[in-house]
Amino acid sequence: MVAFAVAYHVLWPPVGVTLLAPVFAASAALAAGHRILVWAAAPGAYAVWAVLGPGAADRLLAGAAAVAGLSLAAEAATLAARPVVRALRERRRLAEERERRQASEARLRIAAELHDVLGHHLSLINVRAGVGLHLMDREPEQARSALDTIRQASAEALGEVQSVLDSLYPDGQAAPRAPAPGLDRLDGLTADAGLPVRTVVDGEVRALPARTDRAAYRIVQEALTNVRRHAGPGAAATVTLGYEPAALVIRVDDDGSGAAPAHTPVRPGNGITGMRERAATLGGTLSAGPAPEGGWRVQASLPLEAA
């Protein structure tokens, strides 16, 4: 801003209070934390303005008073707001760190349990399968015994894996025993959503990678669950699937009254965190918040593989 003001004074006869622009820029720089830079540059900038600007003594004194007064006011406001800003940043940082730690602990616990279960039983199955193949022709009875051990070990492994998966779900809700659904079952999902749901498809529908298809279905499912819980009675939802060249864009909008006002900070719960985790696992993004026209919007962008 000082450079622009100098150029303006050199190239054109100055009109108006040209000192205010650098003062406003200095206030913004102070608010951003560049205190040393501002206080170091202010005297030089004022000296340049005094040389190039109007030369009357009263105007120079008025300019000096304006610079000093506004700078001190900006400094005082910045110092007063700094503890509040620092506390808000620290609170947000702690909340994000706690969320990441909980997610990491859950993943590590599940990974450790699955490692123990699968490592033990699969190694046993591998050894017994080798013994069975070796003895199949010469000693069929021992080969049959090895196959029976494989059957028992595999059944035990499946049972233990199922118990680990059951721990991921609330009490009374069983882990899924069928392949994870995809967008081919979206019609059934919207029909059983418990509220009016309209589906819009933008672009040409095409086959998706399996994990992207599963993640898209689960994001829509969780978003509709949140609409049913929080949007209020009589709410309706619109599910939009955008098939773009490089990404699948999912948007779930509702017209309910249960969403927070636009100025209210969003405090993500487990549902939003889970949807965001699914999108991040695929390298995508997810946002949730009040929609511009009212209601609530969940939007996810899931990158598609080049193939």
249-300 pLDDT per residue, tens: 999 999 876 544 444 444 555 678 888 888 988 899 999 999 888 889 999 9
Would you say 236 and 254 are in contact if contact means Cβ atoms under 8 Å apart?
A: yes
Would you say 129 and 143 are in contact if contact means Cβ atoms under 8 Å apart?
A: no
pLDDT score, position 292: 85
Q: Average pLDDT for residues 151-164, to the nearest whole number? A: 74
Query: Which residues, listed in sequence order, are joined to residue 242 by a DSSP beta bridge?
Result: 202, 249
pLDDT score, position 253: 94
pLDDT score, position 307: 40
Give the number of other Cβ atoms within 10 Å of residue 226's Cβ: 22
Tokens of 1: 């801003």
Q: Where are the alpha helices (DSSP H) in 136-254?
A: 140-166, 186-191, 210-230
Residues in the chain: 307
pLDDT at 202 over 80: yes
Would you say 221 and 271 are in contact if contact means Cβ atoms under 8 Å apart?
A: no
Burial class (CB in 10 A: 0-12, 13-18, 19+), 298: buried
pLDDT at 241 over 90: yes
Q: Average pLDDT for residues 101-119, to the nearest whole number? A: 72
Contacts (Cβ under 8 Å, ≥6 apart) of 56: none
Segments making up each domain of the chain, as ranges: 2-83, 99-166, 183-303
DSSP secondary structure, 38-57, as one string: HHHHHHHHHHHHHHHS---H
Q: What is the CATH number of domain 183-303?
A: 3.30.565.10
Contacts (Cβ under 8 Å, ≥6 apart) of 41: 2, 26
pLDDT score, position 299: 95
CA distance 277 to 283: 10
Report the range of poorest mean pLDDT among 7-11, 13-17, 219-223.
Answer: 13-17
pLDDT score, position 262: 44
pLDDT score, position 263: 42
Contacts (Cβ under 8 Å, ≥6 apart) of 124: 149, 153
Q: Average pLDDT for residues 165-177, to the nearest whole number? A: 58
Q: Average pLDDT for residues 107-130, to the nearest whole number? A: 71
Would you say 58 and 101 are in contact if contact means Cβ atoms under 8 Å apart?
A: no
Report the range of poorest mean pLDDT among 16-25, 155-164, 235-244, 291-300.
Answer: 155-164
Mean pLDDT of the chain: 79
Topology of the domain comprising 99-166: 1.20.5
Report the range of poorest mean pLDDT among 29-38, 84-93, 206-215, 297-306.
Answer: 29-38
Cα 154 from chain centre: 39
First to last CA, the chain: 50
Tokens of 83: 């503890």
